[in-house]
Chains A and B, each alone.
Chain A
Amino acid sequence: MNNIFKFSFGIFSTLAVAWFAFVVGARKQFGDLSPTSSVLNEDGSIPEDSDLYPIAFSGAAQQGAEEYLSLGCATCHTQQVRLVEAGFDVERGWGKRPSVARDYILQNEVNIGNTRVGPDLANIGLREYSDEWLHQHLFEPQSLIEKSICPPNPFLYDIKDSNVSGALQIISEDNTTRFVKPGIKANRIVAYLQELRQDYELPEMSFVEEEEPVTSELVTIPTTSTKLPSWLSDQISSGKEIYTKVGPGGGGCVSCHQPTGLGQPGVFPPLVDSDWVLGDKERIIKISMHGLMGEIEVSGVKYNGVMIPPGVPPGSLTDQQIADVLTYIRNDWGNSGSAISPEEVAIVRDSVKDRGQMQMWTAAELNSDK
């Protein structure tokens, strides 16, 4: 202890041991993660043609991340959904699954934070907020959430006297009305917030299953009425089996559209009371054969996602199965539509026989064919 060099050596070695574990060890263990697909092949390789996650931010969002950092937003907002054992973040609806290290590898500024005076933002982009809502919240949170203690950021906006194009109308608590135009920083921040979404599964972490009381309720709802002709009730019960079965021979529809047929707000459109289900038969048959991608409006709400062709493996449903499952969804949860026969499916299939199996339809394409 008396020789300063020996002393320094001692105190630096105790530090070095911890450094070795937390810095060198951690870096060795998870410093070289790379994007991967949701499901891996059995030998651990990434299946060909699969989408890789996480996805890098767009340029605007990347700039938004820097604005978010420089304004100090991370002081009150975390961006991490904790493991189910460690907290109730998933139950609170802050994410579909816990966050993992791989989610952050493409971010230049990792803002995971450590205090939550405001809500977690790891999945703010999944929560169906429109750009206008986010701008309004950024301008003056109290005009949307009365008790919010989030500070307003009026300096990010041009306040106008009258309604000019691109301006938002803000009505404050005291009923004063203002028109504000987002500045470039505000636009970047909103682009960033909209891209904060961990809506993909990774080999190391899948979505947390919802609690299942919903299905038990469903069992008690009679789906087949004794008054129906037997061929129809047969078709409906066979269709229900295809709808709910996730695995070979099934359709797997239930995993997105849910046992209730209501889908998931903002992500998966509902089948209940939907014009797409109950309207033109040709459209829905086409979707059942090849899937659907891109923007689609259902019951007045816009969705933007991908529906792979139903069936396991995708697109494997036969004419009879498609007819059954479509008849089922047109006649459950209060829907009431005419039955679809295998012959009708066969005619549609013949009309698009040149189309590739994985060539998904878009809503615009389907509507223009009509």
Chain B
Amino acid sequence: MKITDEQVIDKSAKWVVSFFVASAGLWLLAAALLAYIAAAKLTDPFFLSSFEFFTYGKVKIAQANAFVYGWGGNSIFAISIWIIARLSQAEVRGRVLLLVAGFIWNIGITLGLLGILDGHMNSHEMLEMPKEIWPLLFISYAIITCLIIVLHRSRKYSDTIAPQWFILAAILWFPALFLIAWNGLEINPSPGTVQSVLSMWFGQNLIWLWLTPFALGVAYYIIPSIIGKPIDKYYLAIFGFWCIASLAPWSVVHHLEGGPVPMWIPAIGTVMSIAMIFPIAVASTNFHATAFKDIDKVWNSLPLRFVIFGTLSYTISSYIGVIFSLPAVAKLTQFSIINEFHFNQRVYGFFSMIVFGAVYYMLPKITGKEITIAAKTFHFWTSALGVMMLLLAYLIGGLTHGVLAQQPDLDWANSVIASIQPYFLITEISFIILGFSQLVFVINIWKVLVPNPFEDTGRSKKFASKASTV
């Protein structure tokens, strides 16, 4: 059989991508376990309460970090390396260095999470891992970034397309954001609430300028690949890209509405959040106008179904996000558990669903083994159900929480929090469903990545052919 260029590229990426996908899967399970513990502690405060290691605050923050840096970071590395290699039509080079850097990254996160649980938490949003860990993470990230840029520079065609812009921008924005935040918070720290502005700016931008553009780039790559048609109204993509680049870093500070900072800061945030409807509309048009030309394929191809779930969720919940940034609404929902809705819709409903789709699309190509349809379908439906339940519970619970909190006469613990208790129970159930779903995902990828020592392919084939003749 003739070996195509693509097979050579996939082969060159095999070990690196497998390593990152496998680590991402393990982090996903760790995050799922932590998410369950945190949710269970809200419904029963005595759950694991005698362990200093597992206070609610620590577990909750460890979960967010495991999710964003462990699952998010590793899957960004895996998928970026593969997509950039494919689009450059170049083989992945520096594989050993990539593996070493990836190993350091994962060790760093492990130590960081243990540090959080052991009580060495930092106070800045999404920088909660202990200070000593960050140089380690930064160096390993920088190595991987450099190798991805080298890969991109070795491309055969000089013209670049939307997936490359979004993925490369995401890869490059993270270290820039990190250096800005690290300088302003640790190297020459600012006094008082200047710190809070900066840490919120970093924490929210991490979602908006790292996870979001990456997932959009992946969608720009996978949708036309599977549908087999070019992106509809592709000329809008460049406008959408620069809109995100210029608006997102401004829009993220509206959560400080009414807080102890000068009023212009949340005000600019609010205006820019409203302006975000443009890039959201562009991405939505590009994706859905293309995908819905061939609705059968969306339904029948599981990777595409995951990706479209992600992009739909991005569109709907981003519009909801715009509504919640209006001052009149923000006044109600600020500080309520609606914040959990925003975080989870972005990392679960949008980012993770697209990553699932991309992994299912990518793994058979690089390993040459298929994943059973039934397992993928089970994973899709449990994920979809879990995510929807989770988001609805946080959305309705958040609105209830916000509205009741605005009535000064209601007793806090006995009225306000007691009335959102049922929603905490729903989130706990959702996290159990999601945990199962993610376990299935990890088993799915594990089966493809790790050869089963008990399986003798030759004999089982013979057996199968015998069985079919009987």
Q: What 6 A-B pairs are tightest by C-beta distance, nearest first? A: A72-B57, A86-B258, A18-B249, A82-B258, A91-B408, A75-B57
| Chain A 103-128 interface mask (CB, 8 Å, partner B; 1/0) | 11111011110111111000000000
State which residues 289-337 of A face B: CB under 8 Å: none
Residue tally, chain A, CB below 8 Å to B: 76
* B119, B196, B265: the one within 8 Å of A70 (CB): B119
Contacts A/B (CB < 8 Å), 25 sampled: A1-B238, A17-B249, A19-B249, A21-B250, A22-B198, A23-B184, A23-B197, A32-B191, A69-B123, A71-B119, A74-B123, A87-B331, A99-B260, A100-B260, A105-B191, A114-B125, A114-B200, A115-B337, A115-B340, A116-B336, A116-B405, A148-B45, A149-B421, A153-B49, A156-B52
Task: State the CA gap A311–B112 with chains docked (Å).
Answer: 60
Q: How far is the CB of A255 from chain B (nearest CB, A)?
A: 23
Q: Please, which residues of chain B bring their CB within 8 A of the CB of A4? A: 149, 152-153, 168
On whether A112 and B413 interact (CB within 8 A), knowing A7-B165, A91-B408, the answer reads: no
* A76, A85, A91: the one within 8 Å of B56 (CB): A76
Q: Is the CB of B261 within 8 A of A101?
A: yes
Task: State the CA gap A117–B331 with chains docked (Å).
Answer: 16
Q: Is the CB of A154 within 8 A of B49?
A: yes
| Chain A 81-102 interface mask (CB, 8 Å, partner B; 1/0) | 0110111100111000011111
Asked whether any CB of chain B lies closer than 8 Å to the CB of A31, the reply is yes
Q: Please, which residues of chain B bring their CB within 8 A of the CB of A352? A: none
State the A residues within 8 Å of B (CB): 1-2, 4, 7-8, 10-12, 14-15, 17-19, 21-23, 26-27, 29-33, 69-76, 78, 80, 82-83, 85-88, 91-93, 98-107, 109-112, 114-119, 141-142, 145-156
Q: Is the CB of A153 within 8 A of B55?
A: yes
Task: State the CA gap A141–B46 with chains docked (Å).
Answer: 10
Q: Is the CB of B123 within 8 A of A109?
A: yes
Task: State the CA gap A197–B164 with chains docked (Å).
Answer: 52
Q: Is the CB of B198 within 8 A of A23?
A: yes
Q: Is the CB of A15 within 8 A of B405?
A: no
Binds A, one of B74-82, B171-179, B279-287, B314-322: B171-179
| Chain B 152-193 interface mask (CB, 8 Å, partner A; 1/0) | 110000111000010011001100110010001000001111
- Summed over the interface, the residue pairs from A and B with CB atoms below 8 Å come to a total of 219
Asked whether any CB of chain A lies closer than 8 Å to the CB of B50, the reply is yes
Q: How far is the CB of B204 from chain A (nearest CB, A)?
A: 10
* A1, A14, A88, A110: the one within 8 Å of B408 (CB): A88
Q: Please, which residues of chain B bring their CB within 8 A of the CB of A18? A: 201, 249-250
Task: State the CA gap A76–B192 with chains docked (Å).
Answer: 20
Q: Please, which residues of chain A bring their CB within 8 A of the CB of B340? A: 115
Asked whether any CB of chain A lies closer than 8 Å to the CB of B22, the reply is no
Asked whether any CB of chain A lies closer than 8 Å to the CB of B334, the reply is yes
Q: Please, which residues of chain B bring their CB within 8 A of the CB of A151? A: 41, 45-46, 49, 55-56
Q: CB-nearest residue of chain B relative to A22?
A: B201
Q: CB-nearest residue of chain B relative to A91?
A: B408
Q: Please, which residues of chain B bring their CB within 8 A of the CB of A85? A: 258
Q: Is the CB of B168 within 8 A of A7?
A: yes
Task: State the CA gap A145–B414 with chains docked (Å).
Answer: 8
Task: State the CA gap A149–B413 with chains docked (Å).
Answer: 8
Q: Is the CB of A102 within 8 A of B121?
A: no
Q: Please, which residues of chain A bring their CB within 8 A of the CB of B125? A: 114
Q: CB-nearest residue of chain B relative to A84?
A: B258
Q: CB-nearest residue of chain B relative to A19?
A: B180
Asked whether any CB of chain A lies closer than 8 Å to the CB of B288, the reply is no
Asked whether any CB of chain A lies closer than 8 Å to the CB of B417, the reply is yes
On whether A101 and B193 interact (CB within 8 A), knowing A1-B165, A69-B121, A147-B413, the answer reads: yes
Q: Is the CB of A93 within 8 A of B408?
A: yes
Q: Is the CB of A22 within 8 A of B193?
A: no
Q: Please, which residues of chain B bring their CB within 8 A of the CB of A93? A: 408
Task: State the CA gap A11–B249 with chains docked (Å).
Answer: 11
Q: Is the CB of A80 within 8 A of B197?
A: no
Task: State the CA gap A139–B364 with chains docked (Å).
Answer: 53
Task: State the CA gap A80–B121 with chains docked (Å).
Answer: 21
Q: Please, which residues of chain B bring their CB within 8 A of the CB of A148? A: 45, 413, 417
Q: Is the CB of B172 within 8 A of A104?
A: no
